[in-house]
Amino acid sequence: MNTINNKIIQSIFSFNHLNFQNDSLDQIINKGLNIYSELTNCDNASIFLVDNTSFEFNFYSSTSFESVREITSLFDKFTDDGTISEVIINSEPVFREVEINSHLQLFHIIPLNLPNSLIGIIMLRNACSLNNDESIKFYLTGFSINYALIIERSFHTNNNLNKERNLHSPLHDIVGINLTLLKSLFDSLQCGVLIVDKSTSKIILSNSTAMRLIELDEQAILNNTMNSFFLIHSSIQNSMEGTSGYETLIHRNNGTLLPVLMTESHLINKEDRFIVFSFLDISAKKKSEDELQKAHFLLEQRIELRTEQLIGNNATLISEIRNRQKAEEQLLKFMWAVEQSPTAILVLEIDGKIQYANKKYFELTGYTTDEVIGLKPKFIDSDKLDLDESMILGKVKQSSQLWKSELKNRKKNGEEFWTSLYITPITNLNGEITNFLCVQEDITEKKKVMEELVLEKINAEQSNNLKTYLLANMSHEFRTPLIGILGFTQILSTEITDEENSSMVDFIHQSGERLLKTLDGMLQLSDLETQKLLNKPVKIDFEQIVNSLADKYLDQIQEKGLDFKLDLIFEQIYFYSDPQLLELCLTNLLDNALKFTNSGSITISAHIINAKENKFVQIKIADTGIGIEEDKIDYIFKAFSQVDEGMSRRYEGTGLGLTIAKRIIELLEGEISVRSKISKGSEFTIRLPLIPSSFRNK
């Protein structure tokens, strides 16, 4: 595959921005042909230019002179087989393979979109890279557009040949015969006759047959060149002496083309030279060529009309070209995106037949292009699902909306697979459905994963239910012996006076209390998870809850030498909530504060907050304890977790208190947050609605 180097790209941009005022048309064309050769790595780049008003024919080539005859011969061959006509009419490049001297040569024939009176054809020989490299095609398209504009502008700038007509004919002075007699002789001929003065290339005599075929009077024909009326492939100056015959076309005054067989006779009289052109009408023989030329000129008329409509000036044309390049680039990107999409994409006709399928569809199903295009798709396994393509497309057409489903399909080899299928209609500007877009994604692996996840979820739920059942049913078995142990240790503590035995009894009692507290926490968490604890909101006087907590913890707080502070406005703290759950939550928070605070104070505050949509009560419990590291704040709300983990941790506890508090606040339709700094303490904030939604609905 050929690649475009920076040097070639720089040559293209330099050419597009050059000032060609001091360059001739030949120089401009040759510079452009060199860029074609470098860009496509071809061994020959040629251009054929025809002025469709004067029918002047020009040929340029980047190759040596020895190959010019071969290139022009091939151009004639492509003209005869209709290739050139196809390129002009469709305005699209054509690729041809020709065997020359047992060697296969590749030709790319490219039209130049010249907006006014020129017809341009670019012919590249052995430009193999155009078949493989999309980037070369992109740059070639843009360069051809600018190349055409530059040629068109230069052609009309340098082609100022509006010379005064010389109405004087030197024929009478040169030939030594009566001009009237000579003209009568020529008028009797059945073929058209024109006599040209070779020194001036001007017509000096025309017979009546020539005027009839050209459809102009003698005054309009004389003192014009042959190129004004004929499409001649060889110039007069370079013609060989003697007689030659060839087919050419007359450009009539009414715009039609007449095929004729032309013969040139070179006459010498004294020091002057004359050429006698005689031509016969062969329109019957060349009817097919005549129809082709008519189509060509109709195309030229449409191009001119489109040019007048879309191009007001040169700046507008350049803007239009740039927009077109961007649109083509976007379209190319879109087509590549569709073709390389990781999902299978189909475009269906209105009857359900496949019009287009991307690469992924063939990989997914195992079918080939011939087995898919023009046939109806196999969306589903019809043996197991009571659906078919017509039913699906009928639903999409009726609703004009996206249809999606998960269906089981079969590959070409019979292997089953699951697909996520999406079908949507494609409409035209009038809102009429013209096609259907079908997107399929292989979800076989996702299905397997989902089945495994569902199975794991069922197993997890069963395990969780088993754990909850075990805790609920074993609570009596745990609590009964624990209460017995605690009761007897209290009795023993009053009867045993020995210091060593008394300390062991106290240790047994403390261990039992800790075990009982752990069991209560686990049961509370289990009840919250199984939703056995329900939110039963009633009107609460928060002062009563605070007094109850103060009575419960005052001795422990004073025993540690801490201050207990309250920041309340009692007469305003009324709201609806579950008092038992709220007190249980605050108890766990106070237990946590008391456990991790060795000096300073513990503070409870409560205030009413007016929000936009509702009112909230905000409760804060702050301490001056050891604090929590910032990256472990979220960790503390997990069950059985403490910041100081492991056997070496300094503080006892199950790690359930904060988890239970968070679950209770969520059950009460509130939220809890924490702010903390190491060695400076922690502050837990609770926000509860004054009236929860469950109570408000009632």
pLDDT digits (tens, 9 = 90+) for 148-189: 888 877 776 665 433 333 334 455 554 444 555 566 667 777
The H or E element that residue 60 is part of is strand 57-61
The runs of H, that is alpha helices, within 638-680 are: 657-667
CA pair distance 402, 300, nearest whole angstrom: 45
SS3 354: strand
Question: Contact 168/186 with Cβ under 8 angstroms?
Answer: no
CA pair distance 509, 112, nearest whole angstrom: 103
SS3 49: strand
CA pair distance 357, 369, nearest whole angstrom: 8
Give the tens place of pLDDT for each residue, 383-415.
Answer: 444 445 666 677 777 666 777 777 788 888 888
* 125 burial level (CB within 10 Å; 0-12, 13-18, 19+): buried
What is the per-residue pLDDT for 235? Answer: 41
Question: Contact 393/436 with Cβ under 8 angstroms?
Answer: yes
Question: Contact 543/580 with Cβ under 8 angstroms?
Answer: no
Strand partners, 427: 433
Residue 441: CB partners within 8 Å, gap ≥ 6? 343, 344, 419, 420
Which residue type, as a one-letter code, is found at position 698?
K
Across the beta sheet with 44-51, what order do the strands follow?
Answer: 57-61, 44-51, 118-125, 103-112, 94-100
291 token code pair: 């129809």
Burial 75-92 (b: 16+ CB within 10 A, else e): beebeeeebbbebbeeee
190 token code pair: 């059945």
Cα 178 to Cα 14, 274, 322, 442: the distances in Å are 62, 17, 64, 95
CA pair distance 343, 437, nearest whole angstrom: 13
CA pair distance 116, 176, nearest whole angstrom: 46
Question: Contact 404/420 with Cβ under 8 angstroms?
Answer: yes
Q: What angle do CA 472, 476, 479 make, to 5 degrees?
A: 115
Which residue type, as a one-letter code, is found at position 108?
H
Which residue type, as a one-letter code, is found at position 174?
I
SS3 9: helix
CA dihedral sign of residues 643, 646, 652, 656:
positive
Question: Contact 106/127 with Cβ under 8 angstroms?
Answer: yes
Cα of 662 vs its chain's centroid, Å: 47
HSE on the CB side for 231, CA within 13 Å? 19
How many residues does this entry show for the chain? 698
SS3 619: strand
SS3 4: coil
- Given a cut of 50, the residues of the chain with pLDDT beneath it are 1, 160-169, 174-177, 234-243, 380-387, 645-649
Dihedral Cα 568, 574, 576, 582, nearest 10 deg: 20
CA pair distance 380, 392, nearest whole angstrom: 11
CA pair distance 308, 41, nearest whole angstrom: 36
* Nearest CA among 611, 538, 540, 614 for reference residue 570: 540
CA pair distance 110, 130, nearest whole angstrom: 12
* Nearest CA among 255, 277, 222 for reference residue 55: 255
The count of other CB atoms within 10 Å of the CB of residue 397 is: 14
CA pair distance 467, 187, nearest whole angstrom: 122
pTM: 0.35
Residue 658: CB partners within 8 Å, gap ≥ 6? 588, 589, 592, 636, 637
What is the per-residue pLDDT for 166? Answer: 36
The count of other CB atoms within 10 Å of the CB of residue 372 is: 19
Strands 192-197 and 272-281: antiparallel
